């Protein structure tokens, strides 16, 4: 049976170690081929054989290491999901408030300086003990809940460190409270540290609360997109217009859209015209004029007209739903650079535990007076200061913000890997038709051969009759010309498309061939008397097709595909960035060079057959270049797939968009340079995050171990260690959020 891929939420993750533990647990399951866990999105994507793996098995694997799988969350509505998350956030907030309040009372009654102002009752060790219990075992229960199952499976995570550190401090303090003579007999001052255990828990929970609030900002793009969808549609049924829920709209339904309303689902206009604001989908602020037969996108806003249209895509098939899925998948994917953090995190917690034990031993054996106290406090500091959480958040939070920002500009980045590679691109290959040009060519010239036996009208009729069967944009332009001139079509038999050359067929008793010079050469058709006209037209950037009847040339038809408005600026931006731009096309060299020259493109690959495009991309890659391919047609799909980064125009075919890594639904060629800029800014943010995450641990763990004490008499209080740990995660998320304000449109 074919594998399936399932994405679901995981509750209880807090650090990169959690990610490794969960991925390892999934991969142990027979039938699971791959598992990717994302800390920032709190989601797991698992590929598995459904005959061997069930939801129960996946859920059990998650529960066995101390977490909770939300496998059926897709059944929750957006509002329900929002309520569930808010409920969890409120629960965490309550724990923070209680912990800070009770911990604050303990600090007031025990902390040097503050104790002088506190009521006598708060100075009592037994009172402090009872105040600490709810903080340690109610508010701190989630640390035990994750740490204990992890230890059972010989794994360790951040919760393990917090649980160990606070438990040691709490029970040491409990021993001092109930059995003071045990400690005093050793000559050590009987001072409990309930303030340490409670405030550590309070500060870490506060950090998690602030981190959760910040992470909500990183997924803002998804929320905005989900919020775009209208709730109802006005549908014509049984001759009446009725309002139905958006979920009840069916393919084929005729829908009325009035001025100012959101378009419910995707479809084609049947009657009426209007201008439509597509900015929330494409990022383009100028409304688009829509008339009969034009395609409209669900969730876009109808401006001033009223029209009827037929629903062609509903539910999860609409463009908006597909965009949400793509953005969500991208945010849940893992960038190659994250492997570094993941690899380190798998060893991080065990190393920290060993360092904490070593710290205790060294301080206890070689310490000064009150060696046990010093050893204990430094052990707790080491356990608490270490923060694999920051490492785990460094990459995914930046990816979430980066892909979300791209989506807001009409740039759909399908996975984190593509976003990472994009900043390395130094060569971009553009397909011509439909990419650099509008893909809507128009017939400009019809010229008869000197020896032609047919007139212009007949020439157009024969060509259009053949082209009516073809889906090529050039063919459609000839068909449109014939329809506009009210020319009838002849019946064609034996139609055959010759890729990269033209078409042929039989009309009546005559064999008709329509194609380029290469086809005429291949068929050994002499076109000497047309060469001068062909050369002139090609120098004007026009594409020339020659028509032959029974292997005798009758004339030619020239078409011109206009260059996109954004093409010149888009190419100019890339050249300013030092990126080599190449145009690839099946057109002859003269036509191709004329178009390339007008765009400022110096390298042209002309007369390339569709089947040869992929090979040309591989040749360029073999030159040692990082190559992006930009295309829109079915014949571009292999080339898009073989390039380092495939970029599809949103106006292109579904297969081209499907095989690409990035889709430009805004159809704006300037977006290619914006994508590269976005990638650069995102990678800068990731590197900054990782530098901070690693630097924080490298610098502060030795400080927590007491490395500065022999030289400067400085020890790190566990309370300050917990504050620093919490701030490290918040700083990484906050730095990622800065991406929202970065301008990617400036070159």
Distance CA 661, CA 671 (A): 14
DSSP 512-577: EEEE-HHHHHHTT---GGGHHHHHHHHHTT-EEEEEEETTEEEEEEEEE-PBPTTHHHHHHHHHHT
Q: Which two tokens stand for residue 736?
A: 């990622």
Cβ–Cβ < 8 Å for 386, 696: no
Buried b / exposed e over 374-395, threshold 16 CB at 10 Å, is: bbbbbbbbbbbbbbbbbbbbbb
Count CB atoms within 10 A of the CB of residue 451. Answer: 11
Distance CA 17, CA 39 (A): 10
Please give the helix or strand (H or E) that residue 35 lies within, else none.
strand 32-38
DSSP classification of residue 560: E
Cβ–Cβ < 8 Å for 235, 249: yes
415 is known as an active-site residue:
no
Interior angle at CA 209, CA 204 and CA 215, nearest 5? 120
Among 159, 266, 431, 636, the active-site one is 431
> CA distances (Å), 103 to each of 96, 98, 121, 601, in order?
10, 8, 15, 68
Q: Three-class SS of residue 496?
A: strand
Sign of the torsion formed by the C-alpha atoms of 208, 210, 215 and 220? positive
Count CB atoms within 10 A of the CB of residue 338. Answer: 25
Q: Which two tokens stand for residue 457?
A: 């009208």
Distance CA 299, CA 301 (A): 6
Distance CA 489, CA 464 (A): 7
- Pairing, β 603-605 against β 580-584: parallel
What are the catalytic residues? 431
């Amino acid at each position: 049976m074919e594998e399936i891929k399932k994405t679901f939420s995981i509750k209880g993750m807090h650090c990169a170690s959690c990610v490794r533990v969960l991925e390892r647990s999934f991969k142990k399951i027979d039938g699971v081929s791959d598992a990717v866990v994302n800390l920032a999105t709190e989601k797991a994507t698992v590929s598995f054989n459904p005959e061997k793996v069930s939801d129960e098995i996946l859920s059990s694997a998650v529960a066995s290491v101390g977490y909770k799988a939300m496998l059926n969350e897709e059944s929750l509505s957006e509002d329900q999901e929002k309520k569930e998350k808010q409920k969890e956030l409120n629960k965490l907030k309550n724990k923070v408030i209680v912990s800070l309040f009770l911990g604050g009372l303990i600090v007031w009654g025990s902390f040097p300086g503050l104790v002088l102002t506190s009521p006598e009752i708060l100075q009592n060790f037994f009172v402090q003990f009872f105040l600490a219990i709810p903080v340690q075992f109610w508010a701190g229960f989630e640390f035990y809940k994750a740490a204990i199952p992890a230890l059972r499976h010989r794994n360790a995570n951040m919760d393990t460190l917090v649980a160990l550190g606070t438990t040691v401090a709490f029970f040491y303090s409990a021993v001092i409270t109930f059995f003071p003579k045990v400690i005093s007999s050793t000559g050590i001052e009987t001072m409990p540290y309930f303030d340490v255990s409670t405030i550590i828990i309070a500060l870490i929970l506060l950090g998690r609360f602030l981190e959760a609030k910040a992470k909500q900002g990183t997924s803002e793009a998804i929320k905005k997109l989900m919020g775009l969808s209208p709730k109802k549609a006005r549908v014509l049924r049984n001759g009446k217009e009725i309002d139905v829920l958006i979920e009840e709209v069916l393919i084929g339904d005729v829908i009325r859209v009035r001025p100012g309303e959101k378009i419910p689902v995707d479809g084609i206009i049947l009657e009426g015209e209007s201008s439509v604001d597509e900015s929330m989908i494409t990022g383009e602020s100028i409304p688009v004029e829509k008339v009969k037969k034009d395609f409209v996108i669900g969730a876009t806003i109808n401006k001033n007209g009223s029209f009827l249209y037929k629903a062609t895509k509903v539910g999860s098939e609409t463009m908006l739903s597909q965009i949400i899925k793509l953005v969500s998948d991208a945010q849940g994917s893992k960038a190659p650079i994250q492997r570094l953090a993941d690899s380190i995190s798998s060893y991080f917690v065990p190393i920290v535990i060993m360092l904490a034990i070593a710290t205790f031993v060294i301080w206890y054996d070689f310490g000064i007076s009150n060696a046990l106290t010093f050893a204990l406090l430094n052990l707790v500091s080491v356990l608490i200061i270490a923060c694999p959480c920051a490492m785990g958040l460094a990459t995914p939070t930046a990816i979430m913000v980066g892909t979300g920002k791209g989506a807001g500009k009409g740039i759909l980045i399908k996975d984190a890997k593509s976003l990472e590679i994009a900043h390395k691109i130094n060569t971009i290959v553009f397909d011509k038709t439909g990419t650099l040009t509008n893909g809507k060519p128009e017939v400009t010239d019809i010229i008869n051969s000197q020896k032609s036996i047919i007139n212009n009208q007949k020439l157009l009729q024969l060509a259009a009759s053949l082209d009516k069967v073809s889906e090529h944009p050039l063919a459609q332009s000839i068909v449109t010309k014939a329809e506009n001139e009210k020319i009838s079509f002849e019946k064609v038999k034996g139609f055959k498309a010759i890729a990269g050359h033209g078409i042929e067929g039989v009309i009546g008793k005559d064999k008709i061939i329509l194609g380029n010079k290469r086809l005429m050469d291949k068929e050994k058709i002499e076109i000497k008397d047309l060469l001068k006209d062909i050369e002139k037209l090609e120098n004007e950037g026009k594409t020339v097709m020659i028509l032959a009847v029974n292997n005798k040339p009758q004339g030619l038809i020239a078409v011109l595909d206009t260059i996109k408005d954004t093409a010149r600026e888009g190419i100019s931006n890339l050249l300013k960035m030092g990126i080599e731009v190449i145009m690839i096309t099946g057109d002859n060299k003269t036509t191709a060079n004329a178009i390339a020259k007008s765009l400022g493109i110096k390298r042209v690959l002309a007369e390339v057959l569709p089947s040869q495009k992929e090979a040309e991309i591989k040749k360029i890659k073999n030159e040692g270049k990082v190559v992006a391919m930009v295309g829109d047609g079915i014949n571009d799909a292999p080339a898009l797939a073989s390039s380092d980064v495939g970029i599809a125009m949103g106006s292109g075919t579904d297969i081209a968009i499907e095989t690409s890594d990035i889709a430009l639904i805004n159809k704006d060629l300037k977006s290619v340079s914006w994508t590269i800029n976005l990638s650069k800014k995102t990678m800068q943010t990731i590197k900054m995050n990782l530098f901070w995450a690693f630097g924080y641990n490298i610098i502060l763990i030795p400080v927590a171990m007491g490395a500065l004490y022999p030289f400067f008499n400085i020890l790190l209080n566990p309370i300050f260690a917990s504050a620093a740990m919490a701030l490290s995660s918040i700083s990484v998320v906050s730095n990622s959020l800065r991406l929202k304000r970065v301008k990617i449109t400036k070159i």
